[in-house]
């Protein structure tokens, strides 16, 4: 027993002493410049400074090489640095998702510590050769996955470096020459890798460009496009609809916009009496009325024949003169000249009015649409929710029904009004079982989007970090080429046009002239009252 222990002790000394002595090698034997230059060049190619301004250094090793190299890394001025001795210490989410991570490690346990960095954008592992040998001999699949995640920079104390990279798509490990570092683009050929996009079916059936875009990317990079409708399955990319994902760390700009629109009732047709007034604006009518009143006052004071009539009779005679010519005898030099000029003006005025009214009766005459924020505040009524109260809009109690085409509402929209209507029709069909065509017809006839929009943002893709740069490249290409606009402009869509009826195509009904009937009845009642009063006064004076 003692003999065995002695042998183990001897072998223990033989093994431990060389390793221990390596930590006390003179620093002059370590070419720190070579190590630092290799790491910085690899980092520069993996993380271009224009895209990744910060370098996160996790200092988990105190090997003599690391102690010699770290000052050179810190003194490099191209990138900002975040130095930490623990994963979460002084490291923010921005450091994890928008910067490179340089990991100095000297034990297998360090790989477990950096497990939380597996969704980081970029990672470079710097560890000694003895750790590399232990990793190669390990059967721990989790450990192998952690090591393969980043770029593996393996060093020894004889100033040699080996750089390894496991290609996720080809499942092959490649070696990068440390003297001529050239980092390949692994996504150039993805070897049939499945790029999975989550599509919410009621939206994806309308916004088909998202699926087309994924197919386009896959065709260029030898990948396979997979579309899923179950969000619980693993995915690589999906479109964020609405504003709920604007604070996500994985978003990139996508195509089109999302905004909050205001559904407002369509303008109602003008009554026929209103159409009869429309040929002239209010200033013309006011000027004409003032002219009639001024002439009536003048004639009542200086007229020889019409001056004997009552003031109201003179006003009615002037209006009648303008419409159909004089109905009473008039005379005197002043009165003749004044009424002659008024008749000439009436000819011009009535001729203009008749030509305009014929044109106005043959086109659509509707009230003004609600478009601006001021018009929404004045004319719209919303349900009593937080959104409407926050804007200071008029509200009505919840549970109250205003009737079809009366109230206003908020609607989260995408791209344009027609596409939003189609999406909403799909959602309502799924949730409430209404007919899609019925909803679309009702929506087109009763409501429209006001011109004012709230919270308008570009659409975004939520993309996993490992393929972020790939989709950034192709989204930028789509923006510059205009494919998105061309795609929907040349895509056949239903011709949903709100047709307004013309007066020339309709029969004028009694209710259309209701205002004139009211005026006629009021005139009759006033005449009867005047007749009764006149007889009563005449009888009293006679008695």
Which CATH code for domain 187-268+364-492? 3.40.190
Q: CA 38 to CA 44: how far, in whole Å?
A: 10
As a whole number of angstroms, the distance between CA 241 and CA 114 comes to 33
Per residue of the chain (543 residues), give pLDDT as tens: 323 223 222 223 322 223 333 333 444 578 889 999 999 999 999 988 887 888 888 888 888 999 899 999 989 888 888 888 766 555 666 665 666 888 898 888 888 776 766 565 688 999 999 988 888 888 778 788 778 888 999 998 888 999 999 888 888 989 999 999 999 888 899 999 999 999 888 888 888 899 999 999 999 999 999 999 888 888 899 887 655 555 566 788 888 888 999 999 988 877 766 777 778 888 888 888 898 888 888 888 888 887 888 888 888 888 888 777 777 777 778 888 888 888 888 888 888 887 887 777 666 677 788 999 999 998 888 888 888 888 888 888 877 777 766 788 898 888 888 888 888 888 876 555 557 778 888 888 889 899 999 888 888 888 887 888 899 999 999 999 888 888 877 776 666 666 666 655 556 566 666 666 776 787 788 778 777 776 776 666 665
Give the residue among 156, 208, 131, 154 at the shortest CA–CA distance from 422: 208
Give the C-alpha separation, 240 to 349, whole Å.
61
Ramachandran class of 17: left when φ > 0, alpha when ψ lies in -120 to 50, beta otherwise: alpha
The residues, ordered by sequence, that sit 6+ positions from 368 with a Cβ below 8 Å of its Cβ are: 267
Enumerate the domain spans of the chain.
28-176, 187-268+364-492, 272-359
What is the pTM for the complete model shown? 0.68
Task: Return the sign of the alpha-carbon dihedral for residues 502, 505, 511, 516.
Answer: positive
Domains 28-176 and 187-268+364-492 share a fold: no
Instruction: State both tokens at 192.
Output: 């049939």
pLDDT of residue 212: 92
pLDDT of residue 261: 92
- Largest pairwise CA distance in the chain: 159
N-term to C-term CA, the chain = 157
DSSP, residue by residue, 254-277: EEEEEEEEEEEEPPPBPPHHHHHH
How many Å is the Cα radius of gyration of the chain?
A: 43
Q: Please, where are the H alpha helices in 76-117?
A: 93-97, 109-113
What are the distances in angstroms from CA 224 to CA 20, 189, 205, 234? 52, 11, 20, 15
CATH class of 28-176: alpha beta
Give the per-residue pLDDT at 88: 58
Q: How far is the C-alpha of 100 from the C-alpha of 43, rounded, in Å?
A: 8
């Amino acid at each position: 027993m003692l003999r065995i222990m002695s042998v183990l002790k001897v072998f223990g000394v033989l093994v431990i002493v060389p390793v221990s002595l390596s930590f006390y090698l003179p620093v002059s034997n370590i070419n720190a410049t070579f190590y630092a230059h290799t790491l910085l060049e690899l980092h520069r190619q993996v993380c271009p400074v224009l895209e990744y301004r910060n370098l996160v250094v996790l200092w988990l090793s105190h090997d003599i090489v690391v102690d010699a190299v770290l000052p050179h890394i810190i003194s490099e001025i191209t990138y900002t640095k975040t130095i930490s001795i623990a994963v979460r210490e002084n490291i923010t989410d921005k450091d994890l998702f928008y910067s490179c991570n340089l990991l100095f490690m000297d034990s297998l346990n360090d790989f477990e510590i950096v497990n939380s960095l597996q969704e980081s954008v970029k990672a470079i592992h710097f560890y000694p050769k003895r750790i590399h040998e232990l990793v190669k001999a390990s059967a721990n699949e989790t450990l192998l996955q952690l090591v393969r995640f980043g770029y593996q920079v393996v060093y020894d104390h004889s100033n040699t470096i080996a750089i390894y990279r496991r290609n996720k798509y080809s499942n092959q490990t490649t070696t990068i020459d440390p003297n001529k570092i050239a980092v390949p683009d692994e996504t150039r050929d993805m070897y049939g890798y499945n790029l999975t996009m989550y599509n919410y079916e009621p939206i994806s059936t309308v916004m088909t460009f998202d699926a087309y875009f994924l197919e386009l990317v896959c065709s260029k990079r030898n990948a396979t496009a997979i579309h899923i409708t179950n969000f619980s399955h693993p995915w690589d990319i999906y479109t964020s609809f609405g504003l709920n994902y604007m604070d996500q760390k994985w978003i990139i700009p996508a195509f089109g916009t999302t905004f909050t629109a205001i559904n407002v009732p369509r303008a109602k047709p003008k009554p026929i009496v209103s159409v009869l007034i429309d040929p002239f604006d209010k200033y013309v009518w006011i000027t004409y009325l003032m002219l009639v009143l001024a002439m009536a006052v003048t004639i009542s004071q200086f007229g020889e024949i019409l001056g004997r009539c009552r003031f109201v009779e003179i006003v009615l005679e002037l209006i009648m003169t303008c419409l159909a010519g004089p109905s009473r005898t008039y005379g005197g030099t002043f009165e003749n000249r004044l009424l002659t000029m008024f008749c000439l003006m009436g000819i011009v005025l009535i001729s203009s009015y008749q030509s305009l009214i014929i044109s106005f009766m043959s086109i659509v005459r509707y009230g003004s649409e609600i478009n601006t924020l001021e018009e929404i505040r004045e004319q719209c009524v919303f349900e009593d929710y937080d959104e409407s109260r926050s804007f200071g809009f008029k509200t009505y109690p919840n549970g109250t029904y205003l009737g079809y085409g009366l109230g206003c509402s908020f609607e989260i929209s995408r791209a344009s009004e027609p596409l939003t209507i189609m999406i909403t029709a799909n959602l309502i069909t799924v949730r409430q079982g209404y007919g899609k065509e019925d909803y679309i017809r009702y929506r087109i006839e009763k409501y429209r989007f006001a011109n004012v929009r709230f919270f308008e943002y570009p659409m975004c893709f939520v993309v996993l970090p490992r393929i972020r740069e790939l989709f950034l490249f192709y989204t930028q290409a789509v923006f510059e080429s205009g494919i998105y606009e061309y795609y929907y402009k040349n895509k056949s869509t239903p011709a949903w046009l709100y047709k307004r009826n013309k007066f020339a195509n309709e029969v004028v009904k009694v209710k259309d002239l209701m205002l004139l009937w009211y005026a006629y009845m009021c005139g009759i009642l006033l005449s009867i009252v005047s007749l009764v009063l006149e007889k009563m006064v005449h009888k009293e004076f006679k008695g």
